Structure 1
């Protein structure tokens, strides 16, 4: 009995240490809030670099694609790059959903820490990863909690679009024509409560005040 209590205590301690390790000094892309409403923000993100893992295929699900892409990104940040550089975890991890005539293509993305932004370590070719350079751009964001899963991601995107239509009625057709959305996840899988996710859409060029 004492042995089982000790094992449970060790698991709790290990879990707490893991939470602290993940939450300590997590770096995120820098942005400025341009507009804010109860359920929508428009943020201007500064220039940044990302590593993208494409997962293509009409029958691939959001969850499976995110896991597959992140597995390759995990190898990259643990040294599977041409410099054998180990990179600290950042947040959020993005899953871009690009809807096509044949289904959906997914791109799972890791934010490169600012110290490597100018020259990110190049990924090992076997991982099929791409370096992306982002210009300054405006992103519309809607937050949601819990785990991002196949059964709720579509619902959250529809709620996001509803909010956008209510705010910018004159741009309804523009939003309806958008076939690319991004789910941003900020927490490790072992983080069970207080989880933060967001739906993103690039709104640069839509004549929103402060965004060009």
Structure 2
């Protein structure tokens, strides 16, 4: 029952609309990974190949941009694509923050929907042109992950990124490009109306981390 409720709330939270789902949607699919390095406050995960459908959003607010981007992605999930294919919800909803070239607040965000693993080896149906969505395929690589609870908001996501960057700098300086600290993503696993037991993560790409299994 809880899985059903979470799925409904996630769609409602980002779109403001109710949605009917089937029993098959009760189990969420997520990207596959294995942990290759573990610390008390973060871990390094080796992710397999991942396919995302993405929405680029111009703006300076993480929260508003995530909602706007997911609204477009939600239409794709509900059949706004060439084959009118409907997709089940997956997790997490991932928002990548693109820093401004002039410094200061971010100027754009990429909101990502994880495409089920079957689309790693085949192309998903193209989205309707008016949605302005793009397919993005990630090769297998390592990501540093720091978990945090509560809500991911404009006033805390950068602090969480800085905390992860500080931990990486202290422990893994030789394996991490310092410039990557400014490019990060926020993974959200719960609907906004799910107030307790929330799981969020900040992700930083650590390609080249010299640990077992991480591609250089």
TM-score when scaled to structure 2? 0.83
- The structure-2 alpha-carbon separation of the partners of 1:119 and 1:176, relative to structure 1 and needing over 3 Å to count, comes to closer
Q: How does 1:130-141 map to 2 (within 5 A)?
A: 130-141=134-145
- Counterpart in the other structure of 1:125: 129
Residues 147 and 194 (structure 1), Cα distance of their counterparts in 2 relative to 1, 3 Å cut: same
Q: Distance in 1 between matches of 2:91 and 2:111?
A: 12
Give the superposition deviation at 1:48: 1.6
1:76-95 equivalences in 2 (<5 Å): 76-95=76-95
1:73: which partner in 2? 73
Specify which of 153, 159, 165 is matched with residue 163 of structure 2. Answer: 159
Specify every segment of 5 or more residues in structure 1 that has no aligned partner in the other structure, as ranges: 1-12
Identify if the C-alpha distance between structure 1 residues 187 and 201 changes in structure 2 by more than 3 Å, giving closer, same or farther: same
CA contact (8 A) 1:47 1:135 kept: yes
**RMSD over aligned Cα atoms:** 2.2
Gaps of at least 5 residues in structure 2 are 11-24
Aligned positions, number? 196
Cα pair 1:49 1:120 within 8 Å, conserved? no
1:148 to 143, 148, 152: 152
Q: TM-score, normalised by structure 1?
A: 0.85
Tell me the alpha carbon deviations over residues 103-147 of structure 1, each in whole angstroms, 9 at most, x when there is no partner: 422000000011333221211110010001111111110000011
Question: Which whole-Å deviations, capped at 9, do the CAs of 1:139-167 have from their partners, x for residues lacking one?
Answer: 11000001100011111111111111121
C-alpha offsets along residues 25-54 of structure 1, whole Å, 9 cap, x if unaligned? Answer: 100000111111111111111112100100
Aligned mates of 1:17, 1:56 — CA distance in 2 = 32
Write out per-residue CA displacement over residues 57-78 of structure 1, whole angstroms, 9 at most, x where no aligned residue.
Answer: 4xx2111100100100111101
Quick check: which has more Rg, 1 or 2? Answer: 1
Match of 1:111 in 2: 114
